[in-house]
């Protein structure tokens, strides 16, 4: 098996989006799904990524892409190319952050760089300071080479308190507040380092929290039903909607049929599930409408509230 990065086929118009992060992004292939969600407005020309499971931004910088080990080797990930021995090439993203973000040509610069840290990283002072430093020293120069807008995802507090070494992070509301404060500190660090840098926050965790308070059963369904902290396909849909609102200043078109919803994942390289289990369910049409409305609301956009 050979690994490569095709990203995807380029459209004739739209923006170029790079994704940097961990399994919060690669579960249910958020990069490809996001491009499909934005397709109605022809808003995304190209996407590519450097992702690695379980990492913070310092580890991603040091260790690079980990998707060979984490599932981007399915039929949907095949690029259609083979090596001299007839072995398939797979699109697993770029090997390192630097290789993803260094522009090869002027027309290949990125417009947006979507970033997610380990969810607990923004919550504690030591890891928060470390991430501020790595963002300013390593990531920012490459972002500036592209004249790109960084979008930092405010990830979601876990479904259950005190799981995955989060005992010190409190209740769902307390945990989410710590994530928000930490992500805002990343924005402040980038702005202080470069007046030309205009970072944005994608308030995914705030969208989760709104559903926690208003639509509790739907909030529960945002999480993977085995580990309770990764996103389910429903959570990935909400994340993509929040990214769309943050990036383009408007919500995505609401899928009107089950086929339209299924089509959002038509080329997903991985839909996360565990061996022997049924595939995770996708959002219903009614849930999709609520999720789009929720994303618009937390991003301060006009939308008919469904919650």
Residue-wise pLDDT for 24-38, tens only, equals 999 999 999 999 999
Q: Which of 184, 65, 208 is nearest to 131 (CA)?
A: 184
Domain boundaries, the chain: 2-210
pLDDT interval class at 2 (50, 70, 90):
very low
- Does pTM top 0.85 for this prediction? yes
Is there a contact between 194 and 236 (Cβ–Cβ < 8 Å)? no
The 10s digit of each residue's pLDDT in 152-195 is 999 999 999 999 999 999 999 999 999 999 999 999 999 999 99
- Mean of all residue pLDDT scores within the chain: 93
Percentage of the chain modeled with pLDDT above 90:
81
Matching residue, tokens 């929040």: 242
pLDDT interval class at 52 (50, 70, 90):
very high
Statement: residue 279 has pLDDT above 90: no
Q: Specify the pLDDT at position 9.
A: 57
| 137 Cβ contact list (under 8 Å, min separation 6) | none
Statement: residue 292 has pLDDT above 60: yes
Statement: residue 4 has pLDDT above 80: no
Q: Specify the pLDDT at position 1.
A: 39
Class of domain 2-210 as given by CATH: alpha beta
Statement: residue 303 has pLDDT above 70: no
The 10s digit of each residue's pLDDT in 257-274 is 999 999 999 999 999 887
What is the side-by-side strand order in the sheet with 15-21? 44-51, 15-21, 112-115, 149-153, 200-202
- Structure-model confidence comparison of residues 153 and 76, the more confident one: 153
CA 136 from centroid of its chain's CA atoms: 20
Is there a contact between 19 and 44 (Cβ–Cβ < 8 Å)? no
Q: Specify the pLDDT at position 7.
A: 59
Q: Specify the pLDDT at position 13.
A: 79
HSE (side-chain half, CA atoms, 13 Å) at 83:
9
Q: Specify the pLDDT at position 274.
A: 76
Q: How many C-beta neighbours within 10 Å does residue 137 have?
A: 11
Residue 20 pairs in a beta bridge with: 50, 115
Residue 254's φ and ψ, nearest 5 degrees, are -80, 125
- Structure-model confidence comparison of residues 276 and 98, the more confident one: 98
Residue 231 pairs in a beta bridge with: 223
């Amino acid at each position: 098996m050979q690994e490569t990065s095709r990203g995807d086929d380029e459209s004739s118009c739209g923006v170029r989006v790079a994704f940097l992060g961990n399994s919060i992004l690669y579960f249910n292939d958020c990069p490809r799904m996001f491009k499909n969600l934005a397709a109605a407005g022809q808003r995304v020309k190209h996407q590519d990524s450097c992702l690695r499971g379980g990492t913070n931004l310092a580890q991603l910088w040091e260790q690079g892409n980990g998707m060979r080990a984490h599932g981007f080797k399915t039929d949907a990930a095949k690029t259609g190319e083979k090596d001299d021995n007839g072995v398939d090439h797979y699109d697993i993203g770029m090997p390192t952050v630097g290789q993803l973000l260094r522009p090869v040509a002027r027309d290949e610069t990125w417009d947006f760089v979507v970033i997610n840290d380990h969810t607990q990283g923004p919550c504690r002072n030591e890891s928060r300071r470390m991430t501020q430093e790595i963002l300013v020293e390593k990531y920012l120069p490459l972002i500036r080479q592209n004249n790109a807008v960084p979008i930092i995802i405010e990830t979601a507090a876990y479904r259950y308190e005190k799981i995955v070494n989060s005992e010190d992070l409190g209740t769902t509301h307390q945990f989410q507040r710590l994530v928000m404060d930490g992500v805002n500190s990343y924005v402040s660090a980038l702005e202080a380092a470069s007046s030309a840098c205009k970072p944005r926050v994608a308030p995914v965790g705030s969208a989760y929290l709104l559903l926690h308070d208003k639509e509790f059963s739907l909030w529960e369904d945002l999480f993977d039903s085995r580990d309770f902290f990764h996103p389910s396909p429903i959570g990935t849909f909400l994340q993509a909607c929040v990214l769309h609102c943050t990036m383009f200043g408007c919500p995505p078109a609401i899928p009107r049929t089950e086929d339209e919803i299924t089509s959002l994942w038509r080329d997903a390289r991985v839909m996360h599930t565990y061996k022997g289990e049924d595939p995770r369910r996708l959002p219903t049409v009614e849930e999709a409408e609520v999720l789009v409305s929720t994303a618009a609301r937390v991003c301060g956009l006009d939308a008919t509230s469904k919650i």
